[in-house]
Chain A
Amino acid sequence: MIQANGLSKCFGTQTVLKQLSIDLPEGQRVALIGGNGAGKTTLIRILLGQYVPAGELTVFGSNPRQDRMNVLRHIGFVPQNPPPLQMTVRELTRLSMALAPSGTFEEIRRCTLVLGLDWEAHQRKPFFKLSGGMKQKLLIALTLSRKPRLLIMDEPTANLDPAGRLAFLGELARLPETTGMLLSSHRVDELLGLIERVVELDQGQITLDQLVHDRALAGRLLECRVAMVEEYEPLRRVCREWSLCNGVLPGVFSGEIAATDRMRFLSALTPYSHQIRQLHLDLP
């Protein structure tokens, strides 16, 4: 799907991407993480053909700069900050459908409704007058309705309320398994159920490239034991949610979790780490 070899990008004297090489197979779902200025947005813009990088890059077998129409036909993109478009919601929907006719209006309307935006109620409003969350929901709906082969989203949940975020993740989960994703986010925890791989960028270089959904672990269970410093109800609740049982000893929960869910499990425990005395995870 994406093959990059020795990709570099400089702006003046500042090098934003340094000799980045990565290979993303078709249909893979990747979380792109990293702090501010790590190079995530630059990488995304290069993939969209908007920047001229040094090095080799193909997206769906084509160079996104030289053959951008062929590449962009298969990509759905949602930017970090919705642009202040003057056009109305209706006009933006029309434009999106005219440029990318694979999506249907019925699908757009359904998706906006699921995300919590009533398209019909807002159709005559200028896009820039919608709230940040509403704009994001519309852009997400327009993008998802196109059924792209690759979704590129830059901080897609940044402006969404909790309900919208949940609905958005649900919509992503509904997509065909063949849909690849490159989701740039600060909050990798909420994407863990969706993604198979985490790529972390720092100062333009890959510092972590890890498969989350390890196929070798598929279908296997991990023995798990959580011992608390003292009885703490929020942590007990998390343990119960993960079907861990309180044994004979007070403040000790044990049970089994799916091996492929281990990162999601650890993310759920992270806020209560100060209350954990001992944590044990093992393959039986």
Chain B
Amino acid sequence: MNALTSKPLTFALRLPHSGASPLQAMLHNELHEALRSRWFLVYTVVFGGAVLLLLGLGVTESQVLGFTGISRVLITYLQLCVAVLPIFLLVTTVRAIAGERESGILEYLLALPLTLSSWYWSKLLARFVAVLTPVLGALLLTVAWASLNSISIPWNAVIGIPPLLASLSWCFLGLGMWISCVIRRQEWALGLAFLTWLLLLLFLDVLLIALMLRHQVMEEVIVALTLLNPLQAFRTGVLLLFEPDLSVLGPASYVLLDTLGAVGLQLYAIFYPLLLGSILAVLGLILFRKGDWT
């Protein structure tokens, strides 16, 4: 049967975008693109696999620094998130704009009547959803596994972890978008992403200790550096959920706990990375708007 004379139009093509705003249409599209991309598959396998591995290896029965059971699994999983999640987000996001520019996708999309903001925020929001889905899925998997095996669940931590993960993800997505807007070439963008991640990771412990002990840097500077590091904010927030005294963290965290209090520190751990990510994302858009786009 000829395509023109086949099914009626309404059945031939349902249009979920009909009446949708450009932002909604782009968001729908970007989400589909993200969910079927290779990085998303690898990412899901890494985080889902990590949890399965931790549960399968019987980590619930081990005890480190007083943490045992599901708390032990979650702590290990979140330590993995601190190391892997940011670099994963950076590597995949810094190439978002540079890659589309090089492949000509940007030239085509930005020739359509679509606002720059719709294009940009849809890209960011879609990635945010795609990034959070497997991470939160792994968390749910852990809770389900604990319920099935009658292991006690630290609900306080389980409820507190998603906002922290969302905040961390948003922060590094914003940073990734900013790098992608500032640096046109993929290789350079990747290089800067690695450098940033490495510095943030090193400033969690190693460099802070070196600054304190070897170079006698003032306590205020150390605390300021700790406060500025979104990875540290996430780590502090996570440990506060499991161990409100923060006895497993360093002196800088003690000072922060003393200054801000447990609730203040928890709010800071959620809202600081969120704010930082938003500022960087907005800055990225402003910079992108000023230059040549393709």
Contact = CB atoms under 8 A, between A and B. Distances in A.
Contact of B111 (A48, A86, A97, A119): A48
A52 B293 CA distance: 9
A54 to B, nearest CB: 13
Interface of B: 3-4, 6, 9, 12-13, 15-18, 20, 22, 25-26, 29, 32-33, 36-37, 103-105, 107-116, 290-294
A123 to B, nearest CB: 8
B25 A98 contact: yes
B112 A86 contact: no
B294 A95 contact: no
Interface stretch (A17-25, A76-84, A191-199): A76-84
A45 interface: yes
Contacts of B103: 83-84
Interface centre among B6, B15, B112 (most CB of A within 10 A): B112
Contact of A72 (B107, B111, B291, B292): B111
Interface string A136-169: 0001000000000000100000000000000000
11 contacts: A45-B107, A50-B107, A68-B116, A72-B114, A83-B104, A85-B108, A90-B13, A94-B17, A99-B113, A113-B3, A120-B6
B54 to A, nearest CB: 32
A52 B290 CA distance: 8
Contacts of A94: 13, 15-17, 25
A106 interface: yes
A81 B104 contact: yes
Nearest to B292: A51
Nearest to A108: B13
A93 B103 CA distance: 20
B147 to A, nearest CB: 37
Contact of B9 (A49, A75, A96, A105): A105
Nearest to A106: B9
A98 B22 contact: yes
Given A51-B292, A99-B112, A83 B105 contact: yes
A87 B113 contact: no
A110 interface: yes
Given A84-B103, A110-B4, A75 B111 contact: yes
B25 A95 contact: yes
A110 B3 CA distance: 9
A87 B110 CA distance: 16
Given A84-B105, A109-B3, A50 B12 contact: no
Given A79-B107, A106-B9, A113-B3, A86 B37 contact: yes
Interface string A48-67: 11111000000000000000
Contacts, number: 106
Given A79-B104, A83-B103, A120 B111 contact: no
A77 B106 CA distance: 13
A171 interface: no
Given A52-B291, A73-B113, A95-B17, A79 B29 contact: no
A72 B113 CA distance: 5
Contacts of B20: 98
A95 B118 CA distance: 13
Nearest to B24: A98
Contacts of B104: 79, 81-84
A83 B108 contact: yes
Nearest to B109: A83
B113 to A, nearest CB: 4
Give 9 closest A-B pairs by Cβ, nearest first: A98-B17, A98-B25, A77-B111, A83-B105, A72-B113, A83-B104, A120-B3, A83-B108, A50-B294
Contacts of A51: 292-294
A118 interface: yes
Contacts of B9: 105-106
Contacts of B293: 50-51
A69 interface: yes
Contacts of A69: 113, 115
A106 to B, nearest CB: 6
A123 B15 CA distance: 13
Contacts of A72: 111-114
B33 A99 contact: no
Contacts of B114: 72, 99
A100 B36 CA distance: 25
A91 interface: yes
A159 B134 CA distance: 40
